[in-house]
Amino acid sequence: MDDDAVSTDPDFYSVVFENERVRVLEYRDTPGAKTNRHHHPDSVMIPLSAFERRLEHGSREADISFEPGAVRWVPEESHVGENIGSTDSHAILVELKEPSPGGPSQDASPGPAVGG
């Protein structure tokens, strides 16, 4: 099965730019919306609105708040995301196509991913 975010959740994710080094996604959802399990490579996330998400990463979950313009590094991970706030989510995610110099991230905690 394809676990790419655009394939698993085309109603939430859209590709706005892509070349051989990066892929830029736009993410939008509404309160209560929940994504399917999907994967992101190492990425940079730029929230365009304030929103709250619950991220499920394996058996762990974390609630995270985002403020507009607060740029975040998001290490490679697979997760499910849910909009648990009262506002729409809107963010840009810049996915890196080049592998991390140290290999896949070993971070065991849910990262601050955008769409979840």
Tell me the sheet residues that pair with 56.
61, 80
Indicate the domain borders of the chain.
5-96
CATH classification (class only), 5-96: mainly beta
Which residue is associated with the tokens 């995610």? Answer: 93
CA dist 103 and 88 (Å) reads: 34
Nearest Cα neighbor of 84 from 35, 47, 21, 48 is 35
Q: Give me the residue label for tokens 């959740």.
A: 9
Both tokens of 10, joined, read 């085309």
pLDDT at 6: 97
Q: What is the pTM of this model?
A: 0.84
Q: 14 near 90, Cβ under 8 Å?
A: no
What would you report as the CA-atom Rg of the chain, rounded to the nearest whole angstrom?
Answer: 13
Q: 6 φ, ψ to 5°?
A: -70, -30
| 57 CA to centre of own chain | 12
pLDDT confidence tier of residue 1, bands split at 50, 70 and 90 = low
Q: List the structure tokens of 32.
A: 């209560």
Residue 111 banded pLDDT, cuts 50, 70, 90: very low
